[in-house]
């Protein structure tokens, strides 16, 4: 049967049922927990095709069903009143449908001319919300606001393929049921299969992490009132400035990660006081590093306000940063676990070494390689992620294997983040060419960026000043510069995928969901979009 779909759906129904049983046995034997990345699903479907001699044209359908099987138990454990059945408008009878469409989708009149009213009434009988709308974008808000915790969606393979990144990036517990044939009207699905997945229920109750609760709780720790209860009285200028800086602007990513990892592993609903102290300690380390970085880089503003050294002078800034470091270690010492202090100290030393490499190069610029830049990232950027994730895991009692996995993830996500940041900085830091003085040095602080390293590798014998001249705003960028940007973009993608690949063997569904969401948020500006804006 020919369709307009990119991939075909197995025919007839008996064959689909046979393949679903095969997929269930296959996935049950895997040591992986959901979510699975698109690359995971692609590789597993290729393996099924090879091992069982299946038609390669059904790969898209296999990917959807592997995804379903992986999420089956988790969705079954979510209460029915926290699920959403999402149906496509193309299930309706196009010639006789009288329903209106509003911003939320189709307003079914329950005229019985198609299967939509029967499926919606079945969902109603279970206490399950239902919608008739196109695509998963319409329900992301419901997921983010915890109106529903799982989605069971019906759609054509083409629509499901487009929706997969949304489901996976948001780590949504979801099941996707492909339509049996293509076409944007008068389609059909395996109705009994839809009912089966909609109505299934497990004796185990889902224990999903409430991300908004963690986020709001963590933000609340950094009000001046809460900090005053955790830190010694601020009776001197250094302490006053330090506490103002600590309670000021910031995304609080590091304390959020620490608390979330702890909650995801343990399944606890409340955050214990020692986790709060450890999380605030991590933010103390971060804010101290910002004070010192701003001073070393001579940056006058951060968060749209004066930096500490700009407002109070260099000597005070050094002292404030040192005080915050001391407070961080003091707070960790109250948590009753010496391993926390060791991990934090090792991360602190690594960060200083990475900053030292960058400062030394900036003082005496010379041609360098991408490997040199990556080594700086491993020391300077990676510890920021690693210390938060590892401390959260240690507090939760995680074993050495899981800690190693989190370390590998931190390495990959930290490097991907910094590579992406270099691409964005390259676009925003471009100086205008000075036609009167073509040897003008770029006005921004010179630092060893990945794009500049790629250019240096193209011409290893070229003086660094000549290479720096390639940093210019010019609509007709030369091919070498485009090649350097593309090389960094591809490297960013490689480390992005490596970060997801490290999560394969994490058994904790909630921890894996958390890290998928973290990856999406940290790398939310995809490198490919950055490149389009650059070239």
User: For the segment 164-174, what is each residue's pLDDT rounded down to a tens digit?
Assistant: 667 777 788 98
Listed residue (457, 436, 518, 432) closest to 170, CA to CA: 518
Q: Write out pLDDT tens, residues 236-273.
A: 999 999 999 999 988 999 999 999 999 999 999 999 99
Q: What is the pTM of this model?
A: 0.86
Between the two ends of the chain, the Cα-to-Cα distance in Å is 43
CATH of region 350-535, choose from 3.40.1440.10, 1.10.600.10, 1.10.10.10, 3.90.190.20:
1.10.600.10
- What is the spatial distance between Cα 135 and Cα 86, in angstroms, rounded to a whole number? 9
**Per-residue pLDDT, 183:** 63
pLDDT at 7: 58
Evaluate whether 527 touches 493 at the Cβ level (below 8 Å).
Answer: yes
157: number of CA atoms within 13 Å, CB side? 20
- Where do we find the tokens 């593309």? 486
Neighbours of 437 (CB within 10 A): 8
Closest CA to 132 of 160, 162, 158, 100: 100
Q: Are 269 and 276 in contact (CB under 8 A)?
A: no
Its CATH class, for the domain covering 209-336, is mainly alpha
Residue carrying the six token digits 């449908």: 97
Parts of the chain with a pLDDT under 70: 1-7, 92-113, 134-138, 161-162, 164-165, 182-186, 426-445, 469-477, 525-535
Q: Look at residue 146 in the predicted model and tell me its pLDDT.
A: 80
301-302 and 305-306 strand pairing: antiparallel
Q: What digits encode the pLDDT tens for the residues 452-494?
A: 899 899 888 877 777 776 555 444 457 777 888 899 999 999 9
Residue 2, pLDDT score: 36
Residue-level pLDDT at 509: 93
In sequence order, the 6+-apart residues with CB closer than 8 A to the CB of 354 are: 375, 376, 377, 378, 379, 380, 381, 383
Alpha helices in 381-470 (DSSP H): 382-395, 400-428, 450-458, 464-468
Question: How many angstroms separate the CA atoms of 13 and 31, rounded?
Answer: 29
DSSP lists the bridge partners of residue 85 as 130, 152
**pLDDT tens digits along 341-358:** 999 999 999 999 999 999
CA–CA distance, 351 with 362 (Å, rounded to integer): 17
Instruction: Tell me which H or E stretch contains 376.
Output: helix 370-380
Residue-range domain boundaries for the chain: 13-199, 209-336, 350-535
Q: What is each CA distance from 294 to 126, 139, 297, 314, 316, in whole angstroms?
A: 57, 42, 5, 10, 13
């Amino acid at each position: 049967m020919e369709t307009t779909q990119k991939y075909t759906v197995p025919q007839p129904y008996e064959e689909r049922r046979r393949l679903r049983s095969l997929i269930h046995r296959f996935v049950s034997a895997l040591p992986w927990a959901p979510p699975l990345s698109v690359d995971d699903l692609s590789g597993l479907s290729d393996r099924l095709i090879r091992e069982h001699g299946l038609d390669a044209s059904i790969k898209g359908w296999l990917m959807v069903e592997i995804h379903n099987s992986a999420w089956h138990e988790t969705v079954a454990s979510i209460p029915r009143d926290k699920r959403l059945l999402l149906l496509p408008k193309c299930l309706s009878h196009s010639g006789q449908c009288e329903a209106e469409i509003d911003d939320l989708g189709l307003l079914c009149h329950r005229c019985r001319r198609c299967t939509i009213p029967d499926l919606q009434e079945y969902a109603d009988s279970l206490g399950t919300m239902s919608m008739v709308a196109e695509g998963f974008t319409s329900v992301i808000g419901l997921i983010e606001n915890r109106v529903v915790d799982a989605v069971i969606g019906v759609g054509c393979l083409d629509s499901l393929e487009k929706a997969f990144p949304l489901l996976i990036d948001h780590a949504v517990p979801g099941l996707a049921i492909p339509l049996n044939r293509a076409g944007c009207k008068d389609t059909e699905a395996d109705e009994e299969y839809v009912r089966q997945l909609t109505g299934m229920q497990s004796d185990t109750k889902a224990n999903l992490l409430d991300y908004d609760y963690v986020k709001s709780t963590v933000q609340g720790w950094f009000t001046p009132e809460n900090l005053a209860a955790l830190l010694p009285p601020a009776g001197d200028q250094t302490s006053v400035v330090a506490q103002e800086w600590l309670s000021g602007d910031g995304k609080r990513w590091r304390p959020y990660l620490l608390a979330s990892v702890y909650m995801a592993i343990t399944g606890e609903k409340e955050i214990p006081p020692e986790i709060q102290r450890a999380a605030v300690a991590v933010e103390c380390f971060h804010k101290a590093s910002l004070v010192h970085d701003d001073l070393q880089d001579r940056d006058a503003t951060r968060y749209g306000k004066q930096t500490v050294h700009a407002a109070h002078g260099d000597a005070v800034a050094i002292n404030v940063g040192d005080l915050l470091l001391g407070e961080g270690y003091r707070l960790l010492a109250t948590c009753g676990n010496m391993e926390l202090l060791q991990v934090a100290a090792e991360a602190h030393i690594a960060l200083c070494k990475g900053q030292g490499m960058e400062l030394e190069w900036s003082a005496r610029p010379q041609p360098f390689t991408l490997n040199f830049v990556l080594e700086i990232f491993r020391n300077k950027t990676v510890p920021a992620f690693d210390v938060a994730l590892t401390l959260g895991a240690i507090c939760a009692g995680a074993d050495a294997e899981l800690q190693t996995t989190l370390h590998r993830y931190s390495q990959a996500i930290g490097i991907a983040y910094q590579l992406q940041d270099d691409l964005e900085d390259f676009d925003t830091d471009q100086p205008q060419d000075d036609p009167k003085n073509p040897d003008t040095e770029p006005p921004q602080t010179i630092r060893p960026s990945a794009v500049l390293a790629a250019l240096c590798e193209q011409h290893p014998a070229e003086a660094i000043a000549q290479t720096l001249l390639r940093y210019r705003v010019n609509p007709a960028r030369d091919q070498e510069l485009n090649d350097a940007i593309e090389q960094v973009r591809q490297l960013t993608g490689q480390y992005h995928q490596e970060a997801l690949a490290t999560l394969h063997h994490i058994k904790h569904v909630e921890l894996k969901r958390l890290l998928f969401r973290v990856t999406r948020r940290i790398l939310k500006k995809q490198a490919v979009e950055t490149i389009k804006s650059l070239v």
